[in-house]
Amino acid sequence: MRATKMITSSFLIAGLALSGCNSDNQSNNQSTNPSTSTTPNIEQTNEAQSASMVFTNGRIYTVNADQPWAQAVVLQDNKIVLVGSNEEAQMYLSDTTQHIDLKGKMMLPGFHDVHMHPLESASEATQFTVPAAATAGEYIDEVAYAASQHPSASWLIGYGHEISTLLEMSESPLAVLDEAVPDRPVIIMEQTSHSMWVNSKALELAGLSARSLDPIGGVLGRNEQDQLNGILYDNAGNQVMELAMQSLPDAAQSDYLGLLEYTMPELNKAGITSISDARTYWQRGHLETWQRVADEDKLTLRVSLGLWAYPQMNDNTQLAKLKSLYQNNPAELLQVNQVKFYMDGILVNTTAAMHEPYLENWLELDGNRGLNYFTQARLEKYIKALEPTGFDFNIHGIGDRGIHEALNAIENASNGQARHRITHLEVIDPADLPRFAKLNVIADAQVAGDFTDPSHWPDTIPLIGAERAQDLVPIRSLADNQATLTLSSDWNVSPFNPFIGLSNAVSRQPQAISLAQAIEAYTLNSAYAMRQEQRVGSIEVGKLADLVVIDRDLFEASVNEIRNTQVVMTLLDGEIIYQR
């Protein structure tokens, strides 16, 4: 079901008393330096002090260390002009002011999610979904039915299985799809997006056979007879998915509608006001889709795009193209100022880059220590070439070797002014923990997914052993080592609801952090990662009014109560973009 954007005016709703209307008055020339006092100049006239919107009687958590709490916030158009007491706020009320009585509800800065896949997750390009686990016969029935429902589709594109299901099948995964659909190409994305399940027709159209070599950053799955088995790991699958996407005549329109009708409204409903698209496939038209939404003035988020660095592309050609796509105008909601790199794959595929070999050897990779999409030397080349343009890097690193090599590349090649971040951070060499702060590398982690909970750590023991399977995604260790920590979702791998992330972050012993640290990771630290901490990320005089009102005080709530928090209102740039 698709949701619709809701922008409300002045009325009584969800326990908030609203009165008056939005003012057309221009902001006064009062200083808005965040370091100055939040007390208004009492010598000003009431007319000069009148504001467009006033919030009173709130539990306002500012994420500003100099003034953590307040009762009231005053807005003039899109700017915050007062953070203080109810008495101070009263001085700004006029007949044209919209006055909102928070009735004790909590207000926070708008949440940021600096790692998600909004176009891919809400796109209608995927024609069908299969169960995470099923028998071969059930999969045949599911895929055959999908084919009958899409008789004119040149490619059948699905999603949903787990890689372990295919690896445990007694039947060949290739034979299963061939039986379901022998005459058209089929590709099904695994839940992590790090492998694709294909049939023989898809392999044929991609020019892949038993004689084919593994591509950079990918592996062609094979059986004991060295024949292709229908599983394409990491970049091998990505390249075939590119072919499938190119066959869709209306993919751009589907992506566009997905953003407008589902993604942005649902993110706003969760209190999210800023995101980073962590894999903008610019060869698929993703950049044009985002630009269309921005040009039509329909964005309800601040967005930084992470342009995908294609591992198989010629470096000189790719570097020139990436430079030409750079956009960084702080006055605009849309920025094109990040590049997304993969250092490695994932643990469950045995493709995450590890210092020591895996205990299982499924893919027979050289040394059985995972793979690299980009080597350390190649990443250094991109850092030196793209930092002068202004790009920050969002680097996928899951294994200890992949993370170590990314840190090495930054240490060797960075000018020290960039705000590169490494994301996922599942297995970190303890010796590398202090390097994040030393090198000013942002540590971006996801803890909203159940699979990241410490109760699931033993699941990886058969692959990497008990010692390495401890303290996965060590957010407390990173915080203790003074790393700038951000929390994000990697949606749709994990839910984007920030309250699930907050709840998990404060309860995942022994790697739990405080609620204050978790909120800062979702707000001010993430604003820093997006180079907008001077404008948003905390509630301070002079900053833009990206705000969220919720139905409970998080600091008085239990872990389960935090998880079940509901957003009452979300504002972007001083405008209500969601109201419950």
Q: What class has domain 1-109+539-580?
A: mainly beta
Query: pLDDT of 443-482, one tens digit each?
Result: 999 999 998 999 999 999 999 999 999 999 999 999 999 9
Residue 115 structure tokens: 């790692």
User: Would you say 421 and 448 are in contact if contact means Cβ atoms under 8 Å apart?
Assistant: no
Going by their DSSP bridges, the two strands 442-445 and 272-280 should be labelled as unpaired
**For range 19-43, the mean pLDDT:** 33
Report the pLDDT averaged over residues 502-517: 98
Given a cut of 90, whether residue 568 has pLDDT beyond it is yes
Instruction: Examine the pLDDT at 142 and tell me if it is beyond 80.
Output: yes
In contact, 471 and 447? CB cutoff 8 Å: no
For 463, the enclosing helix (H) or strand (E) is: helix 461-468
C-alpha distances out from residue 338 to 62, 285, 307, Å: 27, 17, 6
How many CB atoms sit inside 10 A of residue 225's CB?
7
Question: How many helices and strands, by DSSP H and E, does the chain display?
Answer: 21, 25
pLDDT at 123: 67
Mean confidence (pLDDT) of the chain = 91
Classify residue 327 by its DSSP letter.
B
Q: Which residue has the tokens 């239990």?
A: 558
**CB atoms near residue 164 (< 10 Å):** 13
Per DSSP, 312 falls in state T
d(CA 571, CA 54): 13
pLDDT at 9: 31
Closest-CA residue to 156 (of 177, 179, 132): 177
At a CB cut-off of 8 Å and minimum separation 6, what does 238 contact? 196, 218
pLDDT, position 252: 86
Name the one residue in this structure whose structure tokens are 């690193």: 397
What strand order describes the sheet that includes 567-572? 69-70, 59-61, 106-109, 547-550, 567-572, 575-579
Residue range 249-535, CATH number: 3.20.20.140
| Residue 101 Cα to chain centre, angstroms | 33
CA neighbor of 362 nearest in space, from 506, 154, 219:
219
> Where do the structural domains in the chain lie, given as residue ranges?
1-109+539-580, 126-246, 249-535
Q: Tens digits of per-residue pLDDT, 91-137?
A: 999 999 999 999 999 999 999 999 999 988 866 667 899 999 999 99
| DSSP symbols for 106-165 | EEEEPEEEEEE-HHHHH-TT--EE--SS--HHHHHHHHHHHHHH-TT-SSEEEE---HHH
pLDDT in tens, 333-371: 999 999 999 999 999 999 999 999 999 998 989 899 999
Task: Match 């209608």 to its residue by tokens.
Answer: 124
Compute, in degrees rounded to 10, the torsion defined by CA atoms 575, 576, 578, 580: 170
Cα gap 105→456, rounded to integer Å: 35
Q: Lowest-pLDDT range, 104-108, 158-162, 526-530?
A: 158-162
Question: Could you give the CA distance from residue 175 to residue 235 in angstroms, rounded to a whole number?
Answer: 22
> Six-digit token pair at 166?
């295919």
Two tokens, residue 43: 């010598």
Q: How long, in residues, is the chain?
A: 580
Between 253 and 227, the higher pLDDT residue: 227
CA pair distance 259, 122, nearest whole angstrom: 7
For 363, the 3-state DSSP assignment is: coil
Going by their DSSP bridges, the two strands 111-116 and 98-101 should be labelled as unpaired
CA angle 175, 223, 131 (to 5 degrees): 50
Q: For 145-155, how does the pLDDT look when each residue is reduced to its tens digit (9 = 90+)?
A: 999 999 999 99
- Tell me the pTM: 0.89
Phi, psi at 303, each rounded to 5°: -130, 130
Residue bearing tokens 């999610």: 113
Confidence band of 63 (pLDDT split at 50, 70, 90): very high
CA separation (Å) from 250 to 84, 118, 294?
Answer: 51, 17, 20
Fold of 126-246: Diaminopimelate Epimerase; Chain A, domain 1 (3.10.310)
pLDDT band at 46 (very low <50, low <70, confident <90, very high): very low
Given a contact cutoff of 8 angstroms between Cβ atoms, the answer to whether 113 and 502 are in contact is: no
Whole-number pLDDT of residue 126: 76
Stated as kind and residue range, the H or E segment containing 177 is helix 173-180
**Higher per-residue confidence, 305 vs 284:** 305
pLDDT attached to residue 282? 96
Contact indicator for 86, 562 with CB cutoff of 8 Å: no
Buried b (16+ CB within 10 A) or exposed e, 355-386: eeebeeebbebeebbbbbbbbbebbbebbebb
* Dihedrals phi, psi of 439, to nearest 5 degrees: -100, 5
Tokens of 97: 């002011």
In sequence order, what are the beta bridge partners of 231?
A: 197
